[in-house]
Structure formats: C-alpha cells, structure tokens
Amino acid sequence: MITDRDMRVFQTEFDFIDKGDTDWRLSLEHATFIHKEACEFIFYVGVDKDSYDAMIKKYAELGFSEDFIKACKKAYTLHYNYTCLYA
C-alpha cells in the first residue's frame, strides 16, 4: 500500500553546468521520472536507512557528483524519499 510518506518529494534547484555535464547525462539515464523540457529529474532516495544507503552507494558508483549526493542526503535528512532536481 502506498502512503503519503511514500510519495514525499523534496524540490531543490540544482546547478547543471550544461546539458552535457556528467550529472545531466546520468540524470537522463537513471532518474525515476524525467521532465526534460522543464529540466526536472526525480530520484528515489530511500524510505529507511538500508534503502537510503543502497541508493547513495548506487549513485556514487554511477559517477554522480558530490553536489548531487548532497542533494539526495538533504532530502532524506528532511524525511523525504524522493528528490526533484530542477535547473
């Protein structure tokens, strides 16, 4: 059963350097949801410590930047389980 807690999305402005940078390219490949025309990418960050740790490890291994990882950490710390990055 999906609850409100499952759908909490933290929105944060994210500085994609340009549409060719690593975070942009990886976002196109790995985001949970993409609205490319609006430059919005939603990523799952976890609902508990184990799922959060697994997602952060996955994003780091994929090559996302430290700024991206920080945005995910902030969302989780504030009790959100998704983060929406927009440019």
Residue 5's pLDDT band, with cuts at 50, 70 and 90, is low
- The stretch 70-75 carries a mean pLDDT of 95
How many domains would you assign to the chain? Answer: 1
- Residue 32: count other Cβ atoms within 10 Å of its Cβ: 13
Residue (of 20, 31, 25, 28) closest to 71 by Cα position: 31
Residue 81's region, left for phi above 0, alpha for psi from -120 to 50, else beta, is alpha
Range of the domain at 67: 4-86
Whole-model pTM: value is: 0.85
- Diameter of the chain by CA atoms? 39
**pLDDT tens for each residue of 10-61:** 998 888 876 668 999 999 999 999 987 778 999 999 989 999 999 999 999 9
